[in-house]
Amino acid sequence: MLSGFINILKPPGLTSHAVVARVRRLLGERRVGHAGTLDPAASGVLVVAVGRATRLIAHLEGSKTYRGEITFGIGTTTLDAEGEITRAVPCSVAAAQLREVLPRFRGTIDQVPPMVSAVHHQGRRLYELARSGVEVERQPRRVHITRLELISFYPDPLHPRALIECTCSAGTYVRALAADIGRALGTEAHLSFLLRTRSGSFALDSSLTLAELEAAVGRGVERTWLCPPESGLGHLAAVTLPEEESERFRHGNAVFHPSSGGPALGQALVVYGPGRSFLGVGRLEHREEALWLQPDVVFPKEC
């Protein structure tokens, strides 16, 4: 039974949904999902979950790292290069000015999601409304920018460009960030290129193209392309259970947890059995004057 994660290098031009569909057909596995959408024009790390590992997506570390190019002086309907140009003006932004405004966008900020996005509004996706020519007011969403740096700057008398690197929380729209940075500089701006270099613990240098994955699966070689389910859970604390309690946990039963210290109540824990066998994810609960480890996601032995 296949279960784990595949670190895919998504090419530009494909939707994240299309990548999932190709992996589903290739592996003959119905349960396939991804851990964070990449826009069709963007490329880079797309973490694809297979089999029972799809239930672990919510437990993956959500931060993402991107390299993106901002073009100043040109605004678009989608805030990236895929949209129609809404305004183009000569722009004299300099690297020093950009460095001055970047600190405003570090830390926790409020961000209005783009109209062309998968955010829901009254039961419909925003991009569906945008295709119908409808624009609605969007509520700001709180996101966190851990790191935002200027990598290089390309002067131009009309439309200078900047390459930035950004590490941010899940749900951050780098397109919106680019437009907001342009606004802070008193001009239009859009994201003209985007590469995701990391998603949680999965990095670009270990990703596989779809062609590489298809070739490996076709050759029937050892499944080195399939990362074990626990590979994306290194940010969580772990607990190891003895044999008898491992079996109880594996069958969906809560087990007694002797320590009152360590992880907080409700916090997710990676659970192992003897020999470092992965059992799943559990949460600590307090009941009957004791701590119990309640199964959240359980992995049978065949996984």
Q: What is the DSSP string of 80-124?
A: BTTSPEEEE------HHHHHHHGGGGSEEEEEPPPSSSS-EETTE
- Residue 156: partners with Cβ closer than 8 Å, 6 or more residues away: none
DSSP assignment letter at 63: -
Tokens of 228: 């074990």
Task: Return the exposure string of 144-161: e unless at least 16 CB atoms fall within 10 Å of the residue's CB, then b.
Answer: bbeebeeeebeeeeebbb
CB 133 within 8 A of CB 38: no
Catalytic residue check, 205: no
- Residue 273: partners with Cβ closer than 8 Å, 6 or more residues away: 240, 241, 243, 246, 249, 250, 279
Task: Return the exposure string of 246-270: e unless at least 16 CB atoms fall within 10 Å of the residue's CB, then b.
Answer: bebbbeeebbebeeeeebeeeebbb
Tokens of 290: 């004791």
Catalytic residue, chosen from 39, 80, 156, 205, is: 39
Name which of 109, 41, 110 is nearest 69 in CA terms: 41
Name which of 174, 190, 201 is nearest 47 in CA terms: 201
CA distances from 160 to 1, 163, 176, 181, 272 (A): 52, 10, 18, 13, 53
Tokens of 216: 């490996």
Neighbours of 84 (CB within 10 A): 8
The residues carrying an active-site annotation are 39
